[in-house]
Structure 1
Amino acid sequence: MRGKVLYKMNYSPKSSGEKMMSHSGILLVLLLLSSVAAAALSLRRNFYLESCPEAEVIARDVLSGTMAGDARAAASVMRLQFHDCLVIGCDGSLLLDETAEMAGEKSALSNVNSLRSFQVIDEIKEALEKACPTLVSCADILIMAARDAVFLSGGPKWEVKLGRQDSLTASQEASNEIMPSPRANATSLIALFTKFNLSVQDLVALSGSHSIGKARCFSIVFRLYNQSGSGQPDPDIDSQYRVELDKLCPQGGDGNVTGDLDATPQRFDSQYYKDLVRGSGFLNSDQTLFALPQTRKYVEIFSKNQERFFKAFVQGMIKLGDLQSGKPGEIRRNCRVVNNISY
């Protein structure tokens, strides 16, 4: 079986700020398709049916209770699967707190001041530890929680494959090299997803995760006032939407102010794609999907057919969840630290 090499994505502030693929720097992590396939074979539906039959119900109930008091929790929890799985596979490495010996992924460029709701995973883990001690991995909790966040927000429901182990370490370096910037364009995103055997349709469908949630003004001020270093705004922004964004994110304003990622930020639906067709995508990495013919085709399909979007999204999430490092791990008792650390 052929090997799959992940190439380093170099960040160049002199360009449009995108992380681009470069053959000159080979990423420290070498994922062989054979090891990925072998690891994926150990995953299966109903993995905890005998050992912890209530595992998925417990996880969903905890998340549902959190969402009742925090509308953003669903989007925040769903994002965690993306940021975990794309970095050396779905192994819960994202959840590890930084130590004196290890730089954590939470502090990576695309994660710091951006990812949230880690405490929700802690609460699910605590509930599962009471019911089934040392049986359910944190990596599996991320997969279940992402699925449930979509379903509880009005999106599709699907069976998840479980049976992952938790990693013994994290890699901030790999996270910095892999995770795309909000400035990324469709071409660089296609190149990134291709490295993980994810298709153009997978890219556009999984970008639909932005059907729910918010993002910071910090992530878009460049496209409002200095796109590509030109001193001009992104010409693809709808004029009326631009007026709204100017009010929300004025030049020199508070970069931590948040804006809705689509017009229905608490409901998982196809509105995200309808917004892109109108030029009302919040992030550059979203709106750029309508600029490139390869990705525009799927944006238009999903904007007109929500069922097609849901089906493609589920397929993409399952493929994303199959990404595994093949490295040995453990079932952490605390998602933030490995088991050999006293706490």
Structure 2
Amino acid sequence: MVDALLVLSFGGPEGPDEVRPFLENVTRGRGVPPERLDAVEEHYQHFGGVSPINARNRELIAAIRERIDLPVYFGNRNWHPMVEDTVAEMARDGVRRALVFATSAYGGYSACRQYHEDIARARKAVGDGAPQLVKLRQFFDHPLFVAANADAVRAAGLPAGARLVFTAHSVPESADATAGPPEEGGHRYSRQVTEAARLVAADLGVTDHDVVWQSRSGPPQVPWLGPDVVDHIEALHAAGVPAVTIAPVGFVSDHVEVIWDLDTEARERAEELGMGFARASTAGPDPRFADMVVELVDEHRHGRAARGLGEVPRAGCGVDGALCAPACCEPPRRPAR
């Protein structure tokens, strides 16, 4: 018996005074230097201190509510509405067992395991009356997710000679190395992003494309996944590529990192180099994304068969997915000081 759905996301500030506390929540314990926080805070203030992510999530929730006969709640990891407060509200409303849709398609610590930790922390904060919460599976290769991303590229345009470049949030190489059970060789996050990009490119009929990374935030001495999207644009220009179409397949909705890193920094660098530039939208606003969420719920409620196009393993609590293994997606080890 399932009596509710919780949409669990990253969170974002909705006013200038919220930016610094939000960033401190996100980076607590990660050793991010204050000057990096200063720089990122300036990015947010450039947009009035408002991230679009909460608004996009509320739009998604409204679309889900039109499609499902369950109450739908909203909670965040890093900013209001905080998941602890939302789970307390669910308990007051009499919810006993709910499914959780986390707004990340992939495995990895921040993309998957940390959402399990968010759920456990919220249930602990509420205590004995907390509802049971079951996180839905990873969906990077779901046909509706792939189709929405492919159509977003079509809408952005892929003119002759343009290079199709997929982006996702970079993570420390050490974190990616633990992102998967040892018997699978780890690297679940980067392998899944690469597989999603392959599937979208295949839908488009594109035989050659690139996968790059963005939004690194850690200490400069710690290796992160690369190349960075701006560095890659420069390399493409040096190789004589006249234009790029950027597809943020690693993200399900716009937030400040997407619109700053891609619509500001990457676009400006391409224009400085005289390159054509187009950026595809994220999949979340596409109506098929809400359809996909309902389908994931129905895997639990009605035994609907789980659909996936990829060849890379996925995990989670769907009908076809196993619970994450004990060693899967462990937190990255912090460098010794």
Whose strand fraction is larger, Structure 1's or Structure 2's? 2
TM-score under structure 2 length normalisation: 0.29
Whose helix fraction is larger, Structure 1's or Structure 2's? 1
